[in-house]
Amino acid sequence: MEQTHYLIAGASHAALAAMHAIRLVDADGSLTVIGRDRELPYSPTLLPYVVSGRTDPQRAFLRDHEYFTRARAAYRCGHALVRIDPANRVAELDDGSRLRFDKLLLATGARPVIPPIPGLDAVPYHVLRTLEDALRLRAQLPQTRRAIVLGAGLVGMHAAENLSKGGARVTIVEQQQQVLPGYFDAQAARIIARAFERADVTIRTGARALAIEAAAGGVTLRLADGSAVSGDLLLISAGVTPVIDFLADTPIQCDRGVVVDATMQTSVERIWAAGDVAQAASFYGAHPVLNGILPNAVEQGRIAGMAMAGDRALEGFRGAVPLNTYSYYGQHAVSVGSGAAPPGAEVVESSDAESARYLKIILDEGRLHGIFAINTPIDPGVMWQMVRRRLDLSAVRDRFLAQPRTMGRLLMSSLLR
């Protein structure tokens, strides 16, 4: 049976960060990366731009073949992991081949959630997670006049903007009362939504889909309030869920995702998980969380790689922090940290509808708990560091509230000189 010291399932951000970390310490240990997609590694984040045509996917691969050759790693694409046997440390791929590994990283990411809406299985719909999805959607674009986007998360919003720019009339249907729940509060969401509405995108929040029917040249979505939305293209963007089917019948503990400790190790020794697939400690609460964002995948991937290679510089995961940078119609929104202000926290908010500027800072016991900004320049990386290092800002509170960017830069520059 083929053997490999390090086996990495997945070939995206978490997987690549892990491989990089391994190779910094162990230049020679045999390493195999398997990816379900047929292409070189790419980022799902990029896909909306593939749909709109702004990005040529052939030029946007995260790594090339030479990278793997130089790193003395085997890159096996077009193969999915279908089963693992943790006791014997054997992985089975969809072509029936088997690989024995010493250390395994699960970095298989997430897949779209398909909500159980009656009739959905009988109509054509799109999702957006893979390059294949994106190309299919892109091919559909010229024929599309009216598109329905179900779900106003990041994927849906990105897709909606790009479909609209591609010439379709778009309606976003969101069950909750605002767009981008989880990253922005209602007020910020309204500012963002306004930019969409100005571009003729219809946003229907608080709208629950009851059923879906095929209609002439498309679909009709029946909503709980009795209204209906019709379109010739339906995109399901109702969230994602970790890809863990192949873990059935294994002792690897799963909750919503693969449960991992601070070094990204699963409940089974020598098996790690990182990125969208993993459910790791939260920075804010006791319960482990999914944190399906790119920076999280990079960070967890690096930690897993260091742990796998025995890198002594490893520091454990400090907990997932929700983070986002969101650009839409030339505007920019940033969210770092939690928007749920704990009791006694100081919340300072300012906004200006005219300029579409918005800033909210939550300080908890003198420390940054969360910061949310629209069209207001802050450095998200700096803010993230301030949150996770729990920097005490009491002494510079006033200046920080007045000039978060300047103060943040000063603090981080002096800290990391």
Partner 1 sequence: MPAYNTIAFHADRCDGCGKCMIACAQAKSASDSPRRARLEVLADDAGRFELTMCRQCADPECVQSCPAAALAKNAATGVIEWDHDKCIDCLLCTVGCSFAGIALDEAAGHVVKCDQCGGDPACVRACKPGALEYLTMARIYDEAGSLEDLFVQGLSACQGCNTELIMRHTLRRVGPDTVVAAPPGCVPGMGAVGYNGLTGTKVPVFHPLLTNTAPMLAGLKRVYKRKGRQVTALALAGDGGAADVGFQSLSGAAERGEEILFLVIDNEGYMNTGMQRSSCTPYGAWTTTTPVGRESHGKSQDAKNLPLLMVGHRCAYVATASTAFMADFYLKLDRALQASKTGFAYLHVYSPCTTGWRFPSKKNIEVARKAVESNFVLLWEYTPAAGLRLTRSVDDPVPLSEYLVALGKYRHLTPEQVAHLEQHIAENVAAIKRHALAEAAAPPASTRPGISSAGALQGPPASQA
Binding mask 310-349 for partner 1 (x = CB under 8 A): -------------x-xxx--x-x-x---------------
In this complex, which beta carbon is closest to ligand FAD, that of residue 278 or of residue 411? Answer: 278
Beta bridge partners of 358: 351, 374
Q: Which two tokens stand for residue 240?
A: 């994602």
Contact present, 181 and 189 (Cβ < 8 Å): yes
Q: Which two tokens stand for residue 146?
A: 């009216």
State how far the Cα of 317 lies from the Cα of 300, in Å rounded to an integer: 7
| Contact positions with ligand FAD (CB under 6 A) in 231-260 | 243, 246
Tell me, what amino acid is at 54?
A: R
Question: What radius of gyration, in Å, describes the C-alpha atoms of the chain?
Answer: 22
For the chain, the residue count is 417
Identify the sign of the CA torsion 270, 276, 279, 283: positive
Instruction: With residue 22 as reference, give the H or E element that holds it.
Output: helix 13-25
Tell me if 128 contacts ligand FAD by CB under 6 A.
yes
Query: Taking CB under 8 A as the rule, does residue 295 contact partner 1?
Result: yes
Contact segment (CB under 6 A) with ligand FAD among 35-43, 171-179, 192-200, 353-361 equals: 35-43
Tell the smallest beta-carbon distance from residue 269 to partner 1 (Å).
27
The one among 18, 81, 320, 378 contacting ligand FAD by CB under 6 A? 81
Rounded Cα–Cα distance for residues 376 and 352 (Å): 11
Query: Using CB distances below 5 to 8 A depending on partner kind, what does residue 385 bind out of partner 1, ligand FAD, none?
Result: partner 1
Which of partner 1, ligand FAD, none is residue 243 near (CB under 5 to 8 Å by kind)? Answer: ligand FAD
109 makes contact, choosing from ligand FAD, partner 1, none, with CB < 5 to 8 Å by partner type, with ligand FAD
306 binds ligand FAD (CB under 6 A): no
The distance of closest approach from Cβ of residue 16 to partner 1 in the complex, given in angstroms and rounded to an integer, is 7
By the rule CB under 6 A, 147 interacts with ligand FAD: no
Residue 108 sits in the site that holds ligand FAD (CB under 6 A): yes
Residue keyed to tokens 């940054």: 368
Residue from 4, 6, 8, 9 touching ligand FAD (CB under 6 A): that is 9
Give the C-alpha separation, 414 to 417, whole Å: 5
Near partner 1 by CB under 8 A: residue from 116, 142, 226, 377: 377
226: which residues sit within 8 A by CB, 6+ positions away? none
* Region near partner 1 per CB under 8 A, out of 3-11, 276-284, 346-354, 376-384: 376-384
- Residue 356 within binding range of partner 1, rule CB under 8 A: no
User: Is 243 a residue that touches partner 1 (CB under 8 A)?
Assistant: no
Sole residue written with tokens 């290092």: 389
| Residue 380 makes contact with partner 1 by CB under 8 A | yes
Our finding on whether 366 is near partner 1 (CB under 8 A) is no
Residue 151: which of partner 1, ligand FAD, none does it interact with, CB under 5 to 8 A by kind? none
Helices 13-25 and 294-309 pack at an angle, to 10 degrees, of 30
Residue 314 and residue 263: Cα distance in Å, rounded? 8
Between CA 134 and CA 52 the distance in angstroms is 9
The upper half-sphere exposure of residue 58, i.e. CA atoms within 13 Å in the direction of its Cβ, equals: 0
Binding interface with ligand FAD (CB under 6 A): 9-15, 34-37, 43-45, 47-48, 80-81, 107-110, 128-129, 154-155, 158, 243, 246, 275-277, 292-295, 297, 324
